[in-house]
Structure 1
Amino acid sequence: MISIDQLLVFSLTSLLLIFTPGPDIIHVLTRGVAQGRSAALAAAMGFSLGNIGHTLLAVFGLSAILASSALAFTLVKIAGGIYLLYLGFKLWTADPALVLSGHGEDKTARIIFRQSILANLLNPKVAIFFLAFFPQFVRPDQGHPAMQMMVLGLTFVVLTMLGFGLVALGAGALNSRLAARPSLSAWLHKGAGAILMLLGLRLLWADR
């Protein structure tokens, strides 16, 4: 089993990476500012739990296929980029008045949760990151490598939940202050949609 010291180093390194500005945390922040705390927390949970899938991909070696096959990487990258463009367009064209009124808030949160899981899984760069990052903390003399990868993956999921959750709460608090200004909220929706579409384009042009 992984030693406490090794797990502590992994956790501290992971927290630094989690709070480094990237597509996922920007997505959570954008959702919170534009759509409120529930939407941001749903996105945070979705992106966090999506990492379970990437952990399993790394454990079973499927991430290695993305790292070695240009075709596989490109196909997943295109699917992920198009999906982010779709989410951005939906947010751009959404009616902010419905969000401010709380209409369908629970349903919206569930949808965003599912969307965030899928957006995370369709990002091949996350899969390759797991494949490159986790093995650095695996020690053959401390147990089965696959079990160590699972422990590291679950630890990363929990840390991501905490980190993204804090970002979601902060962004949601900002949204509450802006709720009294509908015209500004409309522009925030369009800005948030534009950011997601830019993230989609960034993924489409990403290299391995």
Structure 2
Amino acid sequence: MNEISILTTLAVVHLVALASPGPDFALVVQAAGKHGRKAGLAIALGISLAILLHAVFAITGVSVLIQQLPALGVALKVAGGCYLLYLGIGALKTVPGRLRQGDGPLLKGSADSLNIKQATIKGFVTNLLNPKALVFFLSLLTSLVPTQMSMAGKGAAIGILWGLSFAWFALLSYLLTGKRMQQKLQGIAVWIDALCGTVFTLVGGIILGSVLMATIG
């Protein structure tokens, strides 16, 4: 298989993975619907930068090293699980009060607002600490990108993963923040938080549960 075929296959597989709902998808939906386009785009940038780092780790062998150090792998899973639980519980605990008082658009500068820097960091940390992302990119790149591939080819593979990631989540954010769509999302913002909070909590709980079961076993 030549390098163009490899890169094409890599792009297709990655696009399918991006389209599958998960914590990253939920985070963009939540941020775009609740805080607007700039926050959604910043989340998209943060997620894509974390994916860029995952890709570099996988290509350079750092991910393999992490996988071969059980203590480091467990620490990553615990950190990722705890962070997702933190996001989930943080979203869910606001739901009852907002339902009682009636939910409305967030005011700029309110305590619950999200600036560009905060949104970028939130997207970056959410993806970086997701242990499933580490495993996915390690498996994807080691199975599709041969060790003898040229440096230009490996660089292109990393660029494709980053570029597609940012483009997908940026497009999602853009579509969710059109005027009509934003009005609809603001009307159900509390339910979006409830759904996203549930997703974060479940994924975080599953990750921590798997660590606990492995420890007991």
User: Could you say which TM-score interval applies, normalised by the shorter chain?
Assistant: 0.7 to 0.9
**Residue in 2 that maps onto 1:158:** 163
Over the residues paired in the alignment, what is the CA RMSD in angstroms?
A: 3.0
2:106 maps to what in 1? Answer: 100
* 2:116 equivalent in structure 1: 109
Q: Hey, what does 2:198 align to over in structure 1? A: 194
Distance in structure 1 (CA, Å) of the matches to 2:28 and 2:114:
17
Q: Partner amino acid for 1:68?
A: Q
Aligned-partner residue type, residue 172 of structure 1: T
Q: 1:142 to 1:60 in 2, by over 3 A?
A: closer
List, as ranges, runs of 4+ consecutive aligned residues in structure 1 with deviation greater than 6 Å.
95-98
Alpha-carbon spacing, 1:129–1:186, altered in 2? closer, same or farther (3 Å): closer
Report Cα offsets for 1:177-201 as digits up to 9, x if no partner.
Answer: 243x4xx434443443333223322
Mean alpha-carbon deviation: is it higher for 14-23 or for 46-55? Answer: 14-23
Q: Are residues 1:126 and 2:133 paired?
A: yes
Please tell me whether the aligned partners of residues 18 and 165 of structure 2 are also in contact (alpha carbons under 8 angstroms): yes
Q: After TM superposition, give the deviation of residue 98 of structure 1 in Å.
A: 8.8
Does the aligned pair in 1 maintain the 2:91–2:194 contact within 8 Å?
A: yes
Task: Provide the rounded CA distance (Å) in 1 between the counterparts of 2:189 and 2:68.
Answer: 44
Please list every run of 5 or more consecutive structure 1 residues that lacks an aligned counterpart in the other structure.
none
CA distance in 1, matches of 2:89, 2:144: 40
Kindly indicate whether the alpha-carbon contact (under 8 Å) linking 1:11 and 1:156 is maintained by their aligned counterparts in 2. yes
Letter in 1 for 2:207: L
Paired residues in the alignment total 202
Q: CA deviation at 1:114?
A: 0.4
Distance 1:131 1:188 in 2: 32
CA 1:186 to 1:149, structure 2 compared with 1: closer, same or farther past 3 Å? same
TM-superposed CA distance for 1:49, in Å, is 0.9
Question: Under a length normalisation based on structure 1, what TM-score does the superposition of the two structures give?
Answer: 0.79
1:68 aligns to 2:89 (yes or no): no
Q: Which whole-Å CA distance do the structure 1 matches of 2:62 and 2:82 have between them?
A: 22
Letter in structure 2 aligned against 1:143: S
Structure 2: 5+ residue stretches without partners = none
The amino acid of 2:25's aligned partner reads I
Cα distance change on mapping 1:140 and 1:119 into 2, 3 Å = closer
Q: How does 1:1-208 map to 2 (within 5 A)?
A: 3-93=3-93, 100-103=106-109, 108-140=115-147, 142-144=149-151, 148-173=153-178, 174-179=181-186, 181=187, 184-206=188-210
